[in-house]
């Protein structure tokens, strides 16, 4: 199972991080072409899980020529208890990019790719994070699995019929 190096949507590009970019993010640095508020703390946290060449790793969310945040998986899919390959997604944007539908568009773009691979996706979200709950609802995350050890809601998106 693999994903393209760059996933494109109507308004966005989602390129995988390079090793150099991951190192910059981990160090709290900044690069040309990145929004002034990127990387965020969540991006630095994602950089701790970075593995060079992993198509299931973190990606930039780029509009035009500016990286506004990140989206990616917490590792390659593994078989769930029902035998369906599954992995977790995480995403986040700089505050200035909120409210434009970019998170929904980026997640939908990745879900098109994971559907082709037959991979089910789950997400963990703080119950008070209404914006993220709306993004997940718009993207078909209908299965509520309870909460994790951090008190976050764990939701999954069933695979579309025929996948």
Kindly write down the DSSP assignment for every residue of 54-70, as one continuous string.
Answer: -TTSEEEEEETTEEEEE
- Identify whether the C-beta of residue 44 lies closer than 8 Å to the C-beta of residue 58: no
- C-alpha angle 128/28/105, rounded to 5°? 45
Mean pLDDT within 46-54: 94
Residue 120 falls inside a structural domain: yes
Kindly state the percentage of the chain with pLDDT values over 90.
Answer: 95
DSSP string of 7-76, one letter each residue = EE-SSEEEEBPPHHHHHHHHTT---TTB-TT-S-HHHHHHHTT--TT-TTSEEEEEETTEEEEEEEESSS
pLDDT by residue (tens digit) across 62-88? 999 999 999 999 999 999 999 999 999
CATH code for position 56: 3.40.630.30
Residue 163 falls inside a structural domain: no
Is the pLDDT higher at 162 or at 130? 130
pTM: 0.95
**What's the structural domain count of the chain?**
1
Q: Is the pLDDT of residue 163 over 80?
A: no
pLDDT by residue (tens digit) across 81-118? 999 999 999 999 999 999 999 999 999 999 999 999 99
Residue 22 falls inside a structural domain: yes
Residue 103 falls inside a structural domain: yes
Q: Is the pLDDT of residue 60 over 80?
A: yes
Kindly state the percentage of the chain with pLDDT values over 70.
Answer: 99
The strand pairing partners of 153, in sequence order, are: 125, 147
Domain hosting residue 93, numbered range: 6-157
């Amino acid at each position: 199972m693999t994903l393209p190096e760059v996933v494109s949507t109507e308004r966005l590009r989602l390129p995988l991080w390079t090793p150099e970019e991951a190192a910059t993010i981990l160090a709290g640095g900044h690069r040309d072409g990145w929004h002034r508020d990127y990387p965020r703390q969540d991006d630095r946290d994602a950089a701790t899980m970075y593995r060079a060449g992993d198509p299931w790793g973190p990606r930039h969310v780029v509009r035009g020529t500016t990286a506004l945040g990140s989206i990616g998986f917490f590792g390659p899919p593994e078989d769930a208890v029902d035998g369906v390959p599954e992995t977790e997604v995480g995403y986040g944007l700089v505050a200035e990019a909120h409210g434009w539908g970019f998170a929904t568009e980026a997640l939908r773009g990745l879900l098109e790719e994971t559907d082709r691979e037959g991979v089910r996706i789950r997400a963990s979200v703080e119950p008070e994070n209404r914006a993220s709950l709306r993004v997940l609802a718009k993207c078909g995350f209908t299965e509520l699995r309870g909460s994790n050890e951090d008190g976050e809601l764990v939701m999954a998106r069933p695979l579309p019929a025929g996948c």
